[in-house]
Every structure is written in structure tokens, then in C-alpha cells.
Amino acid sequence: MKGFLKNKKGLSTVVTTLIILVVSVLLATVVTFYAVNVTTTRVEEESLYLTKPHIWYNTTGSWAEAALVIINTGGKDIVIDKITVRGQECNWTNVYYWKTNTVTISNDLQVTSTELNGSSVSITVQGASRNFTRASDDITLRSGYTMVVYIKDPDSIALNDVGVTVGINVFTSNAQYYKEVNVEAAQ
């Protein structure tokens, strides 16, 4: 036992090994915390909020219309690739949209009195007449912006679908967002 305590090489090797291990663990911990910090604070996420969905069937005019509000709550701009109703893609020429970052949409959306037609239409939203543009291709939506979408003749909604639950999907390059809604009768 006395020989072990007097051996300075053995004690020096143990201390050196412990120091190397502690420094390695501390260095790995610092690198890990830095990497987590970089990825969580600097990566912007995509997030859409779909609200106020409606699908109406006009019983007197025999045409259907869908509407919903899309809010980009994420930290980056997005591109809407397609919108589907009951699994069927809506043709862009049947999609009308209006974008804003200054108006909060708190009122419910209303069915239009006439069938959507033309390159732009005027629809009352939030108590004021808004100019809706007909889409021709994928639609961009900036971070923090809200977009109101009206769709002319979605899928093949007919009189027999009134009261049936139908799904609306909004697709982006990274995700899809889904809402269910009952088909309503409009006159």
C-alpha cells in the first residue's frame, strides 16, 4: 500500500485521464447546446391556420361555391400548390382570392348572390366590398398575411350533398392542411 501512494506516475495518469474526460464532455455539451440554439431560433417553420370554411349549394341557381380563410401564422412565406374539395383538385381558374395584412377577418363569410365569373369579382368581407382576383397558378402567401378564398363549383357538389360533411385540403410544398365542413343550402 505504501508503494502505491508513493508512485506519482499512477496518480498523474488517473488525474490526466479525468481531466481529458471532463474537458471532452464539457466541449460536447457546449457544441450540443449551440447546435440546438441555432436550429430552434433560426429555423422558420411553415404554419397555416384554416378558418371559417363553408360550402354552399345554391338551390335556385344550381351552382356550388366554397369559401375559407387561410392565415399564414408561420415564420416564412409559403406557396399554395393546390386546393382540393372532397379529394378533387380545384381548377385555378375557379379559385378567387383576396389577401390582406391589415384586416382581421372576424365575421363569418357569406355566400355570393350570383355565381362567380370573370377575372375579378367584388365580394363583401368584413363589412366592405373587396376585389377578389381569379388565380391562374400557384398562390403565394407572405408570413403574417391572411387570404380569403372563394371557389366556384368545387368538386361535384350537388343538391343531394346538402348536409353531407366534405373535406377541404390546402396543399403547400411541405404540408397539407385539412378542414371538414357540412354542405349548406343557399338561395
pLDDT of 44: 67
pLDDT in tens, 80-129: 999 999 999 999 999 999 999 999 999 999 999 889 999 989 999 999 99
Q: Which pLDDT tens digit goes with each residue over 16-67?
A: 888 888 889 999 999 898 888 777 665 568 899 999 999 999 988 889 999 9
Q: How many other C-beta atoms lie within 10 A of the C-beta of residue 37?
A: 10
Q: pTM above the 0.95 mark?
A: no
| Cell numbers given for 122 | 367584388
CATH code, 48-186 = 2.60.40
Q: Which of 98, 178, 104, 105 is nearest to 141 (CA)?
A: 98
Give me 105's grid cell. 377577418
3-state SS assignment for residue 16:
helix
Domain spans, the chain: 2-42, 48-186
